[in-house]
């Protein structure tokens, strides 16, 4: 039953706003910024917001040589969403609900049993899905098509981050 998938229940999402931090971050159109020390900060409402570093990337140099990246705690906002590799099981469930609504319960059951996070989601293939218990070819194909689109989206994000990093080093 769907009620047993507690991590898929809607979670309270906190939004990190620039005025919540002591540092004034310059606003980049579509940019993602990371606090490289991996701190958490309290927002004005007293809620803790985790600030994460994206693995394998350099942050933007903003003030006095400090590097930042700020990610929204939800993958629903494309501009400020966390990289897929940082998604929790709950984030993956939200993605499944949005992109595979017709077979959502089937996928959630399998994904929860195998504790699929964002990193694992990006590495799925037909053989892995079959071993996980998705024996129906049409279900695997539907899911793989969505995963492929997600992989392309993430590659685009990584290329943008790389090109921003290179252009920042040239100026």
Residues whose CB is less than 8 angstroms from the CB of residue 39 and which lie 6 or more positions away in sequence, other chains included: 51
Q: Residue 85: which CATH number?
A: 1.10.150.50
Q: What are phi and psi of 105, to 5 degrees?
A: -65, -35
Domain total in the chain? 1
Q: 10 Å Cβ neighbour count for 60?
A: 19
Per-residue pLDDT of the chain (171 residues; tens, 9 = 90+): 444 555 554 443 334 444 433 333 333 334 444 433 444 444 445 544 444 444 444 444 434 443 444 444 444 544 447 899 999 999 999 999 999 999 999 999 999 999 999 999 999 999 999 999 999 999 999 999 999 999 999 999 999 989 888 777 765
Question: Containing domain of residue 137, as a range?
Answer: 2-170
CA separation for the pair 70, 73 (Å, rounded): 9
Contact status, residue 8 vs residue 108, Cβ threshold 8 Å: yes
Supply the pTM of this predicted model.
Answer: 0.55
């Amino acid at each position: 039953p769907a009620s047993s998938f507690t991590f898929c229940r809607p979670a309270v999402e906190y939004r990190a706003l620039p005025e919540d931090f002591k540092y004034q971050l310059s606003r980049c159109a579509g940019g993602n910024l990371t606090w490289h020390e991996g701190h958490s900060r309290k927002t004005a409402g007293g809620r803790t917001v985790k600030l994460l570093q994206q693995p394998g990337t350099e942050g933007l140099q903003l003030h006095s040589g400090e590097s930042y990246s700020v990610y929204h705690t939800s993958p629903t906002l494309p501009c400020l969403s966390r990289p897929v590799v940082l998604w929790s099981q709950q984030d993956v469930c939200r993605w499944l609900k949005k992109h595979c609504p017709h077979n959502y319960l089937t996928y959630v059951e399998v994904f929860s049993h195998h504790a699929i996070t964002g990193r694992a989601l990006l590495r799925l293939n037909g053989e892995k899905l079959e071993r996980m218990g998705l024996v129906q070819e049409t279900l695997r194909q539907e899911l793989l098509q969505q995963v492929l689109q997600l992989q392309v989206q993430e590659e685009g994000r990584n290329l943008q981050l790389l090109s921003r990093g290179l252009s920042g080093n040239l100026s």
